[in-house]
Structures are given as C-alpha cells and as structure tokens.
Structure 1
Amino acid sequence: MVTPPSDEELAGLPALAPRLADALRALGYGVSGLRQLLDDDGLAALDRGEPEAVVRKIDLALDRPGLAAVVSAFIVGDAVDLVPWLGEELVADCVRCGVLRAVGDAAQHPRHAATIDVRPVEVDGVERLVFSDRDASMTDHVPGPDHVLGVGRASRSLLDITPMDPVGSVLDLGAGCGVQALGQHGAGSITATDVHPRACLYAEATLAAAGLADSAEVLVGSWFQPVAGRRFDRIVANPPFVVGVPEVGHVYRDSGLDLDGATELMLREVPDHLEPDGTAHLLGAWAHVDSGDRGGGAGADWASRVASWLPKEGVEAWIIQRDVVDPAAYVGTWLRDESIDPRSAEGRAKTRRWLDHFAANDVVGIGFGYITLQRVDGPSSITCEDMPQPLGGPFRDEAAEWLLRTAWLRDRNADDILGARYRVRPGVAVERVELAGSEADPEQGFSPAALRVTRTDGPRWSHDTDDAVVRILSAITPDAPLATVLDVMAMLGALPEDGLDDVKEALVPVVVDLVRHGLLLPAELLDDADAHDE
C-alpha cells in the first residue's frame, strides 16, 4: 500500500475537494455509476472486501474507461493512469495534497495510486462523496492509531435513526469523515466537532465537496469543549463507544474512558446542550454488569445502569438495545476491526487483557443500541427496551413519531386517557396462536396458546392481550371518546355493566402501552398530521 498522506499534506484537501469531486462526478463516479459499472454481484464483492472480483467487473466496462479508471484508483486502490481523465493540473494538485502518489516510472508510464478513500454514498436522497483514510477492505494493511474511518455500518445505522428534516442548528459531535453532517444539509447551521485534527480535515473536505462549507463550521476539540455554553436544536453523535480498557488504541473508536464511560459521558452532558424541545440521536454501548444477586449472564440490569446516567429533570429518553453479545465475542469482533488475528500472539495477548478487565469489573455482556433524547419541561421519563426485531423501514420515522406519542401521553392522567379519541393503526394484526395436542393425546386438537396484537409496519411491536381488549379495539372509533365507546359496549352487552369502572381502570395502562408503541393512535395526533399535510 502507498504511504497515507500526512496531516500537513491533508491541510490542502478541503480546498481541493470541490474540484476533485466535480471531476469525479463528470465521469459518472457516484452511487448510480457504481451500480451500473459493477452490477449487484460486483457491489456484493465490494461489500465483502474482495478486490479481484471487483476488478473483473471493472475490466468488462469497456464503454466507460474513465469511470473504470477512477473506481480502480479511489475504491480498489490500484495504480492507474489518471491524467487522461482528471487532467494534468488536477492530478498534480492531488499529488501535492498527498491524495495521489506516483507509482513506477512517471515519465514512461505515468500511474498514480490513491492514498485516501473517496466513497460515493446516498444521503437523504442525494448522491454525495465522502473523504476518509483508506480502510483495509480493499488493500492488505493495518489501519494506524490515527486512522479516520469512512462510511461503516455504524455510520449507516446512525443515518438511519436520525431525522433529516430542516432545523435551525445541528451539532455533529465526533464528526469523523463528516458523513452525518451531510444528512443535515437543510439545517440553518451545522457545527461538526472532533477531537482528531485529521478527522476535521476530512470532514471539511466532505462538506466542501457537497457545497456545504458556507453553512458549516468544523471545530477541533474533545467532547463538548468546542461548543461550551452553546445549545442546538439537534445533536447527532457516533462517539468512540467501544467498551474496554481505559486507553486509546484507535482515535475513531476508543475514548480513553473505562468500560462504557463514553456513552455515560454523552448521556450526562447532552441535555445541557439542547434547546427546549431539541433532540439528540446517538449510538451507544453499555456493559451488562453482574450485580451479584441476579445470577449473572447477559441481561444483568443494563436499563437501570444506563438510566442512572440521565438527569432526573428535563429529558424524555428512549434507549433501544438492538443487540447484546458475550465478552469473548465482543473482543474478537473489535480485534478483527483493527485487522488483528485473534489467533496471533498479539491477538491472544490483547484478548487476555481485555477479558481480564471485563472479569475484574463483573461484565457479563455488552449491549449496543440507539438513543433518542428530547429536552422537555418537567420530570424526566426514561424508557429502555430491547428491540431485536427488524426495523421495517427507516428508524428515524419511528423515533420522530415516538416523541410525538410520548409528548401526548406526558401530561395526561387516567381521565384524560379515557376521554380521548383513538384510531387503531392501519395494518395492526390480531394474531391467534393455537398449538396441537400432545403426542400422548393426538386427538386433542388445537388449544389456544397466545393472543397478540401486532404492528405490521415499522418495528412490528407485538403485545400479548386478551379477547376483551381485542373486542374493545375493534369498537374504537376516532369519532367518540374511549369512555363513551366502553359505555356503549356495556349497554349492548359486550362488556359487563357491573364493574365497568374496574374495566376502565384496568384498560388505562393497556392503552398507554399501545399508544407508546403506536398500535393505537390518538385522534389529536391524526388531526395535527392531516392539518400539516394540507
């Protein structure tokens, strides 16, 4: 692999990026161009990190030699003659910035190899180019401690969970290559920060190539230090959340804080930097710690641990655990992330030290997930739940609606819940599960085993229920308050008139849970949505 650019060389990249991006786009270098050049099989090989399979697809693209050349250089990492496609002046400027290195005899066979990644991505329906250090997916090398990551799976997850509608001000904390800031292009102002000066140079280049340099500022500094005393309408963060020993091996993933200290720091400090009603959208990881009285195992009370990091006043929080893994699997995953073979002497030594640290701190599992926060008036409300099921679409839509639903619930008492009008969400299904009789009595037939109401859109939340609740849901109409619906059902004999007050009291928490997960929608929210659409 060619030598990566120094920070001094990269200082010229933000000014160069718009010219380079324009030249690449003119050759069709983008998401759609890659799809046409490589087709589905080639893109799959690219995702798997199989360069020769990608090259075979490129070699077949005889009708697009310019696109083939720049894909070979900036994605595969091969040395090619770029002068016919980028021009002598731009190639020379790229060499001065360390973006390209001359390979072989420049006089006889001028070839250049790219030292950085310039990766096409689609963000909020717009094709962009993201600048970062070269990763190890296409070339055999070990990224160094100062490596600036490109668009990885975590970055794509954060893009998926973060709203992209325009707001006044956005903070992208731990901006890295700047890809999250691209999703906020409609904001009045964008502030991107990173502790790593090299990352800030790449973020500036990414924003400049997207034409966002005038509406964005990029600041160097640790955590919230660069924006001390400032507040924002939206905060987006993919912090270095790796749970491990308190040291920095790689700036992009290690915070230097012990265990899950990075996520703790974010949750403690984010609320102070949000405007009223402002929201934060974060990725996080947390330790599952065996308290000694739960029998250990993953599932030790992670929710209480994470909730304790948030203030008692002023926050609506939704913390979703998407996955939890055992310590050994977690360590192996992150060793491979830094291109260390767990079987090597180095890999075994790091594994032993990491697992010893987990054992000394009673860590029995590590959870990962999504965090949605909103600054509110009044006591904090914190919801922690597991969501292992498929998302069923962009999670940002569900998170935005969840905040609306919880805001509606926040100040309502039992009488308010019963006095409100509702509609069952379109597509909600009633699932009746019946199981066949036992082997000892095969003639028994089928017996009821479960009754559930389930969303068929979004995260597909599912709630166990009973026939009485199903009857009530079937009768609910947005034209009448819930209490009135229950009274009419009692008059018609569908509910007992004696004890109807007890039925209403028992139904309130059921309705709250169904509203929280969007199976039951308050008519007021539907009316607001219809008015907004008009």
Structure 2
Amino acid sequence: MLPDLSADVCARLRDAFRAARYDADGVVDLLGPHAHAALGRGEPEPASRATRDAGELGTLMRLFLLGDTEPEPAVRAALHPLGVEDAVRAGLLRRNGDGYLAALDVRPHGDEQGSWWVVSDLDPEPRRGRGELGEVPPDYVLGVGHASMSLIRATARRPVGTLLDLGTGCGVQALHASRHAARITATDVSERALTLAEATFRLNELDVETRRGEWFTPVAGRRFDQVVTNPPFVVGPPRVDYVYRDSGLAGDDASALVIRQLPAFLTDGGVGQLLASWLHVRGQDWADRVTRWLPPGGGVDAWFVQRDIADPAMYVGTWLRDAGVDPVSPEGRRKAAAWLDWFAEQKVDGIGFGFVTLRRTGATGGEVVCEDLRHAYDDPLGPETAGWLDRVAWLRDHGAPDELLATRFVVPPSVMLEEVSSAGDEGWRPVVRRLHRMDGPGWQHEVDDLVAALLAGCRGALPLTDLLALLAAGHDAPTEELARTAVPVIRELVRHGMLLPAPLAG
C-alpha cells in the first residue's frame, strides 16, 4: 500500500517540524560535531544520548533519524498539529506496542541557503541491526545517499528556465534544482518513488511537475535547458532486483542509453549531467567505449570524468551488502557466483564510475574529452563543470591557431609551479617542472622550461604571439616552431582552467 501524505498532512507536519526546529541546522546544533559525525558513521548511541532532554526535537530525531520506538504522549506532542492517528493513516507512522515507530524516513537536508525535508523509505541499517529487515524490497526508495550527494556536488548551478530530473527517486535532485530552475519536471518509472517524491515536494511547498514512465518516454517531444539524472547505473546481467539501482539492461547499457538519448531533450546550449558507470573490457580503452555512446553527427560537447574503478569482486560484494545480502550466506554465494561469471564471460576487468556532462551545441562537431580524476580533491565539481563549459565554448569560438596567438592570457593566482631538482656535480639540476591548480579538481601538468618561461609572461599585457617572439629571441629558436608547439599546450591548459583568456579571467 502506498503512503498518502496529502497536502493537508504535509502542511501540519511542516508546522510541527518548524515548531520543533527539526531542520538541518537544528539537528546539527543539538547533536554537536562528535555525535553528528557518529550518526553519519552509522553509530546511533551518541546521538541518542544527545537527544534525551531535547523535548519535541529529540523525539522527532529519535523517531525519524534513529528508528526508535517513542511513547505515544511524546509523539503526539512532537507532531502537533498533526494527530498520530492521521500520521498512521498517511503511512508515516506505525504502532509498536505502547508507542510508535516511523514507517517512512523523513529527515532534514540542507545546503548553504537553507533546509528541506526529504521523504524516502526507512534507512535499512538500523532495522537490520534490530533484526527487523533482511533484503530491501524491490521498490525500495533510497534517501539521500552517496551517489545522490556526488551528483548534487557535480551539478552546475546557473539560472535556467526549465529543468528535467530524470529518475527523481526521493526528489532530492529537484530540491537542489529549485535554487536555480524556474520550472522543474520530475519523472520516475516507480510509482512508489513518485509518490514519495511528491510528498517531498508538498512538504517543502515546491511546485514540481511529476510524470511516470520509463527513461525519456514521459517527456517525449519536449526539450529542457538542463537535465540532471542519477539513473540505475549498477552494471551486470540484465535483471531488475531493485528498481532504484537496476535497469534491466545488460552491462552498462543503461548509461549508454541515457547518454545517447539525452542531447535530443536539450534546448540549444542546454546542459545534461549524470552519474554513469562503464565497463573496463579487456583489450578495450574505456574512453573509446564511452565516446561511442554519443549520438552520431556531433553537435554535442561531452566531458567524461572517471572518479573510480572497482574490481569485479569488490563491486559485487559492495552491491550485495547494499541490498542486505550477506556475501557469506548461501544466497550471497549464489548471487555473487552468477554475477562474477557474467563479468568473466564479458571479459570485464573493472567497472568505472564517474560524471558525464553533455551540452547541445546546435552546430556540427563538439568537444569530447575523457579524463581520469581519481585523485582526492576538496572542492565540489559543479563550479568546475560550469567553468569547463565556458572554456570549451571560448575555444570553439577563438581556438584557431591565429586567434589563440592573438589572445592575451593570464595565469590564475591559484596556479603554482613546482620544480623538483636532483643534486649533481654542478649543484641542483631541475628534473621536473609541474603546474598545479590549487583549487577545483587540482589539475596537474608537467611542462618544460620553455613553457614555464612562456607562462611567466602571461599577465594579460601582451598577446601570446609577442611573448613567443620574445621567447624565441631569448632562446635562439624559430618563432614559428615555438608557436606550433605551444598551441596544443595552450588549448589543454585553457581547458583545465590553468591559463585563461583575459576576458574570462576578468
């Protein structure tokens, strides 16, 4: 039976949450840094202790965040003006002895501008710990997980008119989209997911259009300024054990389908961003594999960023545990064997995971870049994605050799030059010169002494052609040869934001 969190129920629940200060800041302030960190690690006892004398806020936190049974008088007081009987009828609570348990997960989720509440199915971990839950049900609706947060951090946030959240799940991507999109459409193949997403939108007083159906079918014939999607990207045999993660397509065909079809649903200049997985097949380059998914005929800028590669054994074990299947159990052994056999038959050595950004250019061609970004970095990728799109557009309009050479460039202050030297008979001798971008994804480029000298002159005063002429005179080298060598290096540094045209830098 589907929950029924009507507009009236959501309005009264919202009043109760606001009165108790059950929001992102209220929860963090009550828990403090140590108990909050422990809760994030799946350790509930420090949080339970912190909420003991916290009145209605403590009751709500134990009820919805810790999965505890709370006595009826405390629940009634915490949910006022929503009656507990109405909460049970709506599918929000269930009776448990003399008290009540949460039947849905409703938890605060915030950003730097404020706080929302997200409605999803209960976090399975606390229930497994109490022996109440084995495997999650096939139509389980995941809350705000690591993958969701990864896409949130990787999404470019610029004002747009229309945005599509494809496969919305609990609706969290649409919540963040409400900060910069005037009109939002959210779709999902799962009736339960759409029901909970609609509750999320009502609870937060957001006007979001919802449509049910597979892939892009619900929005056939429409175009959007931005599309965000966290599709069911788990790779393996063609099956659907859990709707939130399995597509029913074999291998990485789900990611391929979205990447192939998405550009047709973008306006000219529109941007699509998604999480995706791809197979690392023996004897095949992953970049060749994913770029073949792009629609024929060009007209798309595409940036594939690989964040991780998992070996098949680790991948299978991770997703078995995610579903509550013990890999040691007979069922776990059987499922793992079938999965690993499939990987072996397909000659899969690893499974790549990362972000894909697509832009419809409205023209032929397009910039297609595949990059490995498995090193650690602190900044979210969203601002970098927006910058990458700007820089690629600039290169398309001004990237011809003559135009590049006529441009005044600036090295951003976040770019540093590292030199590594070795000791010799005549003192220290530089062996490596490496550019580091200290912000964003922390790109690095090794450069020779001529490129280092050229960049030292890029302060926005002289065009590149004048700097190359000075460099050629100082090193007794032909200017034309230096220019021919410099152009591809300049293009790559611009793409990575390590060298900016003066107009973009300003």
Q: In which range does the TM-score fall when normalised by the shorter chain?
A: over 0.9
Distance 1:14 1:521 in 2: 50
* Equivalent runs, 1:191-340 vs 2, <5 Å: 191-213=185-207, 216-291=208-283, 300-311=284-295, 312-340=297-325
SS of equivalent to 2:163: strand
Distance 1:351 1:147 in 2: 21
Structure 1 contact 123–182 (Cα < 8 Å) conserved: no
Matched AA of 2:255: T
Structure 1 contact 130–206 (Cα < 8 Å) conserved: yes
Residue of structure 1 in register with 2:157 after alignment: 164
Matched AA of 1:418: L
* Equivalent runs, 1:441-452 vs 2, <5 Å: 447-452=429-434
| 2:400 equivalent among 413, 425, 445 | 413
Distance 1:78 1:357 in 2: 41
Residue of structure 1 in register with 2:181 after alignment: 187
> How far off its partner does 1:325 sit?
1.2
Residue of structure 2 in register with 1:133 after alignment: 121
Structure 1 contact 15–208 (Cα < 8 Å) conserved: no
Residue of structure 1 in register with 2:344 after alignment: 359
Residue of structure 2 in register with 1:297 after alignment: none
Gaps of 5+ in 1: 1-5, 106-110, 292-299, 438-442, 528-534
> How far off its partner does 1:44 sit?
1.8
> How far off its partner does 1:447 sit?
4.8
Matched AA of 1:65: G
Residue of structure 1 in register with 2:375 after alignment: 389
Q: Deviations over 1:199-234 (max 9, x none)?
A: 001111111122112xx1111110000000100000
Residue of structure 2 in register with 1:343 after alignment: 328
1:76 matches 2:56:
no
Q: CA RMSD in A?
A: 1.7
Distance 1:219 1:348 in 2: 39
Structure 2 contact 108–115 (Cα < 8 Å) conserved: yes
Matched AA of 2:302: A
Structure 1 contact 434–446 (Cα < 8 Å) conserved: yes
1:401 matches 2:381:
no
| 2:100 equivalent among 81, 98, 112 | 112
> How far off its partner does 1:50 sit?
2.0
Structure 2 contact 12–80 (Cα < 8 Å) conserved: no
Q: How high is the TM-score relative to the length of structure 1?
A: 0.89
Q: Deviations over 1:235-287 (max 9, x none)?
A: 00000000111000000000000010110000010000000000011000000
Distance 1:474 1:90 in 2: 69
> How far off its partner does 1:19 sit?
2.4
> How far off its partner does 1:444 sit?
9.3
Distance 1:501 1:280 in 2: 40
Structure 2 contact 231–276 (Cα < 8 Å) conserved: yes
SS of equivalent to 2:226: strand
CA gap 1:124/1:313 in 2 versus in 1, 3 angstroms = farther
Distance 2:384 2:81 in 1: 50
CA gap 1:463/1:93 in 2 versus in 1, 3 angstroms = same
Structure 1 contact 31–120 (Cα < 8 Å) conserved: yes
Q: Deviations over 1:132-160 (max 9, x none)?
A: 00022322123211100000000001110
SS of equivalent to 1:138: helix
Distance 2:245 2:108 in 1: 23
Structure 1 contact 76–139 (Cα < 8 Å) conserved: no
> How far off its partner does 1:126 sit?
1.7
Distance 1:15 1:359 in 2: 53
1:174 matches 2:184:
no
Gaps of 5+ in 2: none
Structure 1 contact 455–519 (Cα < 8 Å) conserved: yes
The structure 1 segments of at least 4 consecutive aligned residues displaced by more than 6 Å after TM superposition are none
1:432 matches 2:412:
no
> How far off its partner does 1:446 sit?
5.3
Distance 1:14 1:342 in 2: 43
Distance 2:242 2:161 in 1: 33
Q: Once structures 1 and 2 are overlaid, which stretch shifts more, 72-81 or 360-369?
A: 72-81
| 2:38 equivalent among 39, 45, 55 | 45
1:518 matches 2:497:
yes
SS of equivalent to 2:262: helix
Structure 2 contact 405–463 (Cα < 8 Å) conserved: yes
Distance 2:109 2:321 in 1: 24
Structure 1 contact 391–460 (Cα < 8 Å) conserved: yes
Q: How high is the TM-score relative to the length of structure 2?
A: 0.94
SS of equivalent to 1:378: coil
Matched AA of 1:184: A
Structure 2 contact 301–368 (Cα < 8 Å) conserved: yes
Residue of structure 2 in register with 1:495 after alignment: 475
